[in-house]
Amino acid sequence: MPWEPLTDEQLEVRELVRTLARERIAPRAAEIDASHEFPWDVVELFREHGLFGLFFGEEWGGTGTGTLLSLVAIEEVSKVCATSGLILAVQELGSLGLKLAGSEEQKARYLPSLAAGETLAAYALTEAGSGSDSAAMRTTARREGDEYVLDGSKRFITNAGVAGLYTVFAKTDPDAGHAGISAFVVEAGTPGFEVARLEPKMGIAGSTTGELLFEGARVPAANRLGEEGEGFRIAMRILDRSRPGVAAQGLGIAQGATDYALEYARTRETMGKPIAQHQLIAAKLADMETRCEAARGLLYRFGRMVDEGAPDAELTKASAMAKLFCTDTAMAVTTEAVQILGGYGYIKEYPVERMMRDAKITQIYEGTNEIQRLVIAREMLRESRAFLLAGLA
């Protein structure tokens, strides 16, 4: 038996998710991609088997099984369908604001329905003119009595139109840069709030990505997360914990592509033998597998850090490294998988074409990989490593 980093309990859950992915989701993956329709049947499957609960504590109706297992679930689903894996990852992304900064009343009001999957969540930070530069956002929130009036727009928002709950960031002090940003929970159906359009995309075609418009949208002051001006700090704390969800998606895509390419290479023959026995193809397969295992090490390390109570300051660098390496691996490995399949890899009859298209977005959303490198380097510069140089001439 291969060595496993997971406990027996975690392996049982992984096997459940793996079986659901292979038997129920994999047969739908190509159709989801071709139709560009949000897969509500997959959402129902997750609800039925309690998979949304993996991201929540028992007090809110979740399983309380921890971060590592939730990342494993995203990885397993993403091996066969990146769109479906993203549904799980974004449920965590859109819920983290409440979990990290919500009041007990806010948590009691919203978390049970999120844990059950009755309500889907979304995270609305990015705007047309402010992606990596959050301080440049133009959406405003003006206090009027017991309400805030939101005006502006958000762009590239995953789950737009299907989410029932949006974590939205807006400027309560437009002149204060990062310190002027506040966070709000906005319910779908709020007057003055609408989804303006959905974007056609290269990959993750079954996931909705859209533009949100706020025109005098009135949100109760009770729906503000934390204090005024704490929004940027909340947003960064959320991303530190949510980026590994995208890392898990990327790893799943990469491992799925590796597994498919391996099986193809075992059966496809040229020059009288399977192409897996040709040195150039064997070398590709070896590199693909090694990258996946290295990525898994970074990802699972992050999951264990959270489960063992590592302080927030320790999570930033670990999160960025996992996201960077897993998603770069996804792009590199799927490109090689297409190459191994040759002409077959380039046509839609074979899944590696879809996997390659799906992989690209993982290097972009929830912080581009260029930003991840800046974050990692910044954290390195804060560390004291002088002891490593002791005794060197």
DSSP label at residue 25: I
**Torsion from C-alpha of 96, 99, 101, 106, nearest 10 degrees:** 120
Distance CA 144, CA 100 (A): 26
| Cα within 13 Å of Cα(107), Cβ side | 17
In terms of phi and psi (left: phi > 0; alpha: psi -120 to 50; beta: otherwise), the region of 341 is alpha
Q: What is the pTM of this model?
A: 0.96
Task: Evaluate whether the domain defined by 8-116 bears CATH number 3.40.50.300.
Answer: no
Topology (CATH level 3) of domain 232-383:
Butyryl-CoA Dehydrogenase, subunit A; domain 3 (1.20.140)
Compute CA distances 221 → 216, 224, 274, whole Å.
Answer: 14, 6, 65
Single out the residue of 71, 10, 82 nearest to residue 42, CA to CA. Answer: 82
| Domains 8-116 and 121-229 are alike in CATH topology | no
Domains of the chain, residue spans: 8-116, 121-229, 232-383
Q: Which amino acid makes up residue 238?
A: I
Q: Output the pLDDT for position 388.
A: 64
Per-residue confidence in pLDDT tens, the chain, 393 aa: 678 889 999 999 999 999 999 999 999 999 999 999 999 999 999 999 999 999 999 999 999 999 999 999 999 999 999 999 999 999 999 999 999 999 999 999 999 999 999 999 999 999 998 878 888 899 999 999 999 999 999 999 999 999 999 999 999 999 999 999 999 999 999 999 999 999 999 999 999 999 999 999 999 999 999 999 999 999 999 999 999 999 999 999 999 999 999 999 999 989 999 999 999 999 999 999 999 999 999 999 999 999 999 999 999 999 999 999 999 999 999 999 999 999 999 999 999 999 999 999 999 999 999 999 999 999 999 988 776 666 665
Q: What is the pLDDT of residue 3?
A: 82
Tokens 């300051």 belong to which residue?
A: 313
Task: Please identify which of the residues 37, 366, 379, 383 carries the catalytic annotation.
Answer: 366
Q: Is residue 366 among the annotated active site residues?
A: yes
CA angle 325, 327, 312 (to 5 degrees): 60
pLDDT for res 387: 67
Parallel/antiparallel/unpaired status of strands 181-187 and 269-270: unpaired
Q: Which residues have C-beta within 8 Å of that of residue 329, sequence separation ≥ 6?
A: 250, 251, 254, 291, 292, 294, 295
Q: Where are the beta strands (DSSP E) in 73-144?
A: 121-124, 140-144
Q: Which residue has the tokens 């897996």?
A: 276
CATH fold, domain 121-229, is Butyryl-CoA Dehydrogenase, subunit A; domain 2 (2.40.110)
Q: Given 3-state DSSP classes, what are the helix, strand and coil percentages for the chain, each rounded to the nearest 5?
A: 60, 15, 25
